[in-house]
Each structure stands twice: as structure tokens, then as C-alpha cells.
Structure 1
């Protein structure tokens, strides 16, 4: 149950939600995420570390850059359904 509560904690944070929502569209580097969401790189790195520890995102290394993408289709489906629900109310 701890992992369930941590997953909902992850989804309750607006910054992490924005990052996950962006990752719906594909793979992005930390710098690209920071630029697209107008966030500091350190903020993005911190939030990605939290999401990675829960296996909600994964990364691959290319040279000195890390590229992140979502890693759990189930959680992404829940998030998409929640967004759709919010738009209907």
C-alpha cells in the first residue's frame, strides 16, 4: 500500500503532473522539459528523480544528456482519464 500512496502523492503535485503530461508526447531531455515548462533545470531533475524512483518515468543516456519518457502505461491511462474527467466538469 505504501507504493500506492506514493504514486498518488506523485500525481498530486502540479509540477510532476506537468512533467508527466509533457511526456505523453514522447521523450525529452531534462533541458527540453525545463524549457518547455519554464522551470529551473534543478527543479526538473529533482522531480524526475522522484518519478523515476516510483518507476513512473525511465531514461536513456545519449552522450552527456539524459532523455526521459513515461514508464508505466497504467498510470498514464489513469492520468489521461483524470484529465478528461476534469475537462467534463
Structure 2
């Protein structure tokens, strides 16, 4: 298939810029970020996710439905329980990078990460 051979373009004129903005909009919610953090080590049912996110099961279910439509999470049913897991590692990587950016913004980034990123930024200049 040709779709498998296409290269990902990281240029300002990429056809994926608008879709990337939709991904960021989906992640622009503290509950959804908490859900991604909770799911990073594997699948969990709604009640466990609600407890970890500090929200009601009904509210978490609504967030998970949106995340499922966005293909960030997937489900598996076992009896009457539905288990959620991350679709792939991309949402987790975005959240981890955002957390690291927040650490840098507050000046609380671990020493080694701060120097690693400063070196990367300097190399790109």
C-alpha cells in the first residue's frame, strides 16, 4: 500500500497540521491527561480510572468516549466490565513531553533533562 510508504512530514505546510491541532485540543483537558497517565502501564476499567482521575465514573466515561472516537484509547470487554487501554504510545509521548515542558517552565526539570534539551535546542539553532 502507498499509505505505508509515505513519509511523515514535519514541515509548516504539512497536510497534518490541522489534525495535529485537533489532537492538542483533545489533550487540552486535565481529566484526559490524567486518564492517559493512568493508562500508561496498561488497561483499567472505568471505575479504577475514575478513582485515579478523581472524577465520577459517568464523567470519565464521557471523556473516554471522546478519546475512543479520536483513536487515543481502545477497549476490551470481559463479562460486564469494559477495560480501556492506550491505542498506541503517541498520546503518552505527547503528555510526557508536555509534563516535561511544564517542569522546564517552572524550573523544576531534572538536571540531566534540562541539559539534554538545552544541547538539542542549541544544536538546532
**If the length of structure 2 is used for normalisation, what is the TM-score?**
0.65
Give CA-to-partner distance per residue, 1:48-68, whole Å, 9 cap, x none.
000000100111001000111
Q: List gaps (5 residues or longer) in structure 2.
A: 1-15, 106-125
The answer on whether the counterparts of 1:3 and 1:54 sit within 8 Å (CA) in structure 2 is no
Which residue is 1:60 aligned to?
A: 76
Per the alignment, do residues 36 and 78 of structure 1 end up closer, same or farther by CA in structure 2, a change over 3 Å counting?
closer
Deviation at 1:74, TM superposition (A): 2.0
Instruction: Indicate yes or no: 2:45 matched with 1:26.
Output: no
In structure 2, what is the Cα distance between the partners aligned to 1:30 and 1:42? 9
In structure 2, what is the Cα distance between the partners aligned to 1:37 and 1:19? 6
Runs of 4 or more off by more than 6 Å in structure 1? none
**Structure with greater strand share of residues:** 1
Which residue is 1:77 aligned to?
A: 93
**If the length of structure 1 is used for normalisation, what is the TM-score?**
0.89
Matches within 5 A, 1:28-47: 28-47=44-63
Q: List gaps (5 residues or longer) in structure 1.
A: none
Cα RMSD after superposing both structures: 1.4
Deviation at 1:73, TM superposition (A): 1.3
Higher relative CO (Cα under 8 Å, sequence separation at least 6) belongs to 1
Tell me which structure has the larger Cα radius of gyration.
Answer: 2
Deviation at 1:69, TM superposition (A): 0.8
